[in-house]
Amino acid sequence: MRARTTVGATLVVAVALVAAGLLVVTLLRDNLYGRAELTAEVNARSIAGQLASGTAPSAIELPDDDELAQVVDANGSVVAASEDLAGMPAVGTFAPAPDPVETTDPATADGDGDGDDDQGEDDGDDDDTETPDDETTAVAGGGSVGSQLEYETVTVPDEEASYRFAALSATAPDRQVYAVYSGASLETQEEAVDSVGATMVWALPPLLAVVAVVTWLVVRRALRPVAAIQKELIEITGGDLSRRVPVPASRDEIHSLARTTNLTLAALDAAVSQQRRFVADASHELRSPLAILRTQLEIAREHPELLDLEATLGDVTRLQDLASDLLLLARLDAGERPLHVEVPFTELVREEVARRAASDRVPVRLEVEEDLSVWGVRGHLARAVGNLLANAQRHATGAVSVRLEAEDEEWLRLDVADDGNGVPQGQRRRIFDRFVRLDESRSRDEGGAGLGLAIVQDVVLEHRGMVYVLDAPEGGALFRLALRRSR
């Protein structure tokens, strides 16, 4: 990961630096060339102004040695040139054409009355003046300087650098048209551009090396907590789930990862501890009925007349119920979620009360509201209601009351109360743990294995409901079960 991050960051910086360098060089070249063009334009207009004012080509003032200039007549002959261009042909033919000039009819130039009358008569009917497309700069003396400029880079023989030439046309007072070429050297500009480009090229590798090293160090420092987490996880997988990974002080994603990892380890540790306790308690609870059953069978083998079939059948039944409870809890712990359907809860409560009333010694008083339904698994809900009834009858002294009613449009409430000794305040959360039996129900024959209320709690949580213990009006315990109604 460090290598990939370093390479990626270096490539991104390299692309950014190359793009920025090209942009800087381009802008620098355009700026410097613009200055050369301005110098060439100023010199060209100065020479053209001298020609337009009537100065002879041989008498015009040409620029210094750093700039070049040429004056070419309409026939393409060089009539004036700076020292470096002496004896050379025209530097080019890219000078623009001269601007159109105003022409006057000779008849109107005499100034007599007839001419004026004729002009007056023709005014508005015909116009002999040509309107130029571009503005012409008139110069004292009768000549003019063209308004159009053209630029071109020219390599002059025997010169080390190229020149940026500006070209324009000039018209002398005698209507002789000249093309004026003025060039400014690009040597300084090219040296500056080349120097900047070379500096960027030479500076790029060291800069990229610095970026790579810094990125490598920063990423290594950032991933140091990850290495510590990985090392601790390797130790934890050896079997000690009580250990936790180190949490870095920085409030970043690695900090969140470490905290989430510790939460996961804590949940895993709790689940493994619960599973171990469950296996140990299940083994303990199964050992006693199996040992009793084996003893009875061994005695019956030697003395058949001593076999108590009713007691043996009771032990087998308790063993079967315990195995059934363990299987249900194992399925709930494994996350098994059967298909939920609409369950007529009023009918289900009636059936469970009727089933237990036929065989149990404690009568049950029933009050139900009709047509209440829930979404859930009918078998699991029946087991939960049956376990609440069995628990209440086991601890009641004379009566058990069951009341089912709608609490509101969303929830229904089932109250199962007895007139026994109740549940102490400090034990009301503990009684829902697995294999927990209070002092009053330590006998396995009377108190069961301590799984009934644990099953009730798991089933209620599976159906997103609630179950808790209150004081019953009769003086015993009241177990209240709340479930969402189906609509």
**Residue 125: enclosing H or E segment and its boundaries?**
none
CATH class (in words) of the domain with range 337-484: alpha beta
Q: How far is 208 from 477, CA to CA, in rounded Å?
A: 77
CATH number for the segment(s) 2-99+134-193: 3.30.450
Please check whether the two domains, 2-99+134-193 and 269-336, share a CATH topology: no
Q: Which of 451, 413, 446, 416 has its CA nearest to residue 432?
A: 451
Give residue-wise pLDDT tens across range 264-312.
Answer: 888 888 878 877 777 777 777 777 778 878 888 888 888 887 777 777 7
Give residue-wise pLDDT tens across range 161-186.
Answer: 788 899 999 888 888 899 999 988 88
Compute the average pLDDT of residues 136-145. 68
Q: How far is 457 from 332, CA to CA, in rounded Å?
A: 11
CATH fold label, 269-336: Helix Hairpins (1.10.287)
Alpha helices for 303-434 (secondary structure H): 309-333, 345-357, 378-395
391 contacts: CB under 8 Å, gap ≥ 6? 416, 452, 453, 479
Q: Which of 138, 228, 157, 151 has its CA nearest to residue 182?
A: 151
Other Cβ atoms less than 10 A from the Cβ of 57: the count is 19
pTM over cut 0.85:
no
Q: What angle do CA 57, 63, 68 make, to 5 degrees?
A: 90
Q: How far is 210 from 277, CA to CA, in rounded Å?
A: 58
Query: Strand, helix or coil at 191?
Result: helix
Q: How far is 32 from 393, CA to CA, in rounded Å?
A: 104
Give residue-wise pLDDT tens across range 32-75.
Answer: 889 888 988 999 898 888 888 888 888 888 876 678 888 998 88
Query: Strand, helix or coil at 94?
Result: coil
pLDDT band for position 345 (cuts 50, 70, 90): very high
- Identify the sign of the CA torsion 227, 230, 236, 238: negative
> So what's the pLDDT on residue 56?
87
Domain-wise residue ranges, the chain: 2-99+134-193, 269-336, 337-484
- Identify the sign of the CA torsion 238, 241, 243, 248: positive
